[in-house]
Amino acid sequence: MTKSVAICTLGCKVNAYESEAVAEQFAKRGFFLTDFDQAADVYIINTCTVTHLSSRKSRQMIRRTKQLNPNAVLVVMGCYAQTAPEEVAAISEVDLILGTGDKGRTADVVEEFLLTRKRACLVSGLDEKDEFEELCVTSYEGRSRAFLKVQDGCNNFCSYCIIPYARGRIRSRSLESCVAEAKRLSQSGFSEIVLVGIHLASYGKERGGPYLIDLLAELNKIDGIARIRLGSLEPTLFDDTFTQQIAGLSKICRHFHLSLQSGCDETLIRMNRHYSTADYEAAVLKIRRALPGAAITTDIMVGFPGETEEEFLNTLAFVEKIGFADAHVFKYSVRKGTKAEKMDGQVAPEVKEDRSRQLIGLVKTLNQQFVASYIGKTVSVLFEQEHKGIPNLYEGKTDNYITVLAKSQRDVSGEFHTVAITGEKDGLAIGELTEEHKN
């Protein structure tokens, strides 16, 4: 009898890639994939722990999953499982626990459990892991772009961050393996790939190269790949040489997500970030000179320990000065085992909430201004799907990550089309397909 598996992915794009790879493991063994809200024989929750809220969501999902099928196998894996295996093991519904370094054997472990029915916590330490765990994805059902995981781990140990403990030290996938998977994805019909990693800028550094720019140059040569989009990067990556080299690669998307965290130098020092606001601004100016129209997006934390009202206002001013195309704003939460856990000056929840509201409001305005600046221009859009299920209204992305809505009498998902931008609504660009693409 064919068995079914359902996978719930929490957190980042790296987790999304790993979940796809795990799904393929099961497909090769004859399982069929079903939606997570349906009855299944195996449920897998790929957890996140980047914030306190992420860990709480992971626990909530674990506790309610077996209500769908009490006899199902429940597997919990990922970052929360890696950093708090004893908490996961205390939840009686959980059958198997895997960390972040052993996802390549998920299907094997489940098949063994189906024979023995023995609960197990199989989280291994990351200190001894110095090799990238090879996973493989050949298809992304119903998507126009594909993730390509090329790196894992982080050596930075920012004072607020649990991720080095959840993912270990930096490890890079071989250039040959990255290129081979990108070619397979191209042959499967994907024209855009998104490079993801825990600290993408560190690609190749642990072995003295090849480095990220070398990988990008090879990917840029692949027939069928029209766009290469980069995941989160450090501003320190963008020196003159790297910026000019990347500008010379025709397929690199003009969208750079540069992690900021704070627009105040004093706060950045306490965070153990390795740049100043002047460094960050210089990187942005280099990008904008080399790649006109580039969208700069970021992550910003509010309420870090010791953040005064003046420091927060500095962040507001810096965000407005840079003119981000968009930003993810989140409130600092204590992560057990990090340096910031024991810092003085913990900010009150209501203050964090107010600062978050102010910053989100500013980012929304900047996002709308960026999108509105394209009214009257024509852009190339890779369409992905119908917008919220509305018939004949499709959404897609420009290379600089503007979401565009346009009407079409036929399904244009997975296709590139030229669109004339006619308006902006709530950060979305409204456009019309040019004449040659209307029918």
What single DSSP character describes residue 347?
P
Q: What is the pLDDT of residue 439?
A: 44
* CATH code: domain of residue 94: 3.40.50.12160
Q: What is the pLDDT of residue 139?
A: 73
Contact 95, 119 (CB under 8 A): yes
Q: What is the pLDDT of residue 84?
A: 94
Q: What is the β-pairing status of strands 4-9 and 42-47?
A: parallel
What single DSSP character describes residue 221?
T
What's the token pair of residue 56? 């709480």
On whether residue 317 sits in a domain, the answer given is: yes
Show pLDDT as tens, one digit a residue, over the chain (439 residues): 679 999 999 999 999 999 999 999 999 999 999 999 999 999 999 999 998 889 999 999 999 898 888 899 999 999 999 999 999 999 999 999 999 988 999 999 999 999 999 999 999 888 766 789 999 888 766 677 899 999 999 999 999 999 999 999 999 999 999 999 999 999 999 999 999 999 999 999 999 999 999 999 999 999 999 999 999 999 999 999 999 999 999 999 999 999 999 999 999 999 999 999 999 999 999 999 999 999 999 999 999 999 999 999 999 999 999 999 999 999 999 998 999 999 999 999 999 999 999 999 999 999 999 999 999 999 999 999 999 989 999 999 999 999 999 999 999 999 999 999 999 999 999 999 996 555 4
Distance of CA 297 to the CA centre of its chain: 13
On whether residue 126 sits in a domain, the answer given is: no
Instruction: Give the pTM.
Output: 0.94
Residue 359 φ then ψ, to 5°: -70, -40
On whether residue 131 sits in a domain, the answer given is: no
Cα–Cα distance, 322 to 263 (Å, whole number):
10
Contact 304, 332 (CB under 8 A): yes
Cα–Cα distance, 292 to 229 (Å, whole number):
16
Q: How many CB atoms lie within 10 A of CB 186?
A: 18
* CATH code: domain of residue 153: 3.80.30.20
Let me know whether 65 and 173 are in one domain: no
CA dihedral 218, 222, 228, 234 (to 10 degrees): -10
Query: Shortest CA distance to 277 belongs to which of 214, 247, 310, 235?
Result: 235
* CATH code: domain of residue 424: 2.40.50
Tell me the residue range of the domain where 428 lies.
378-437
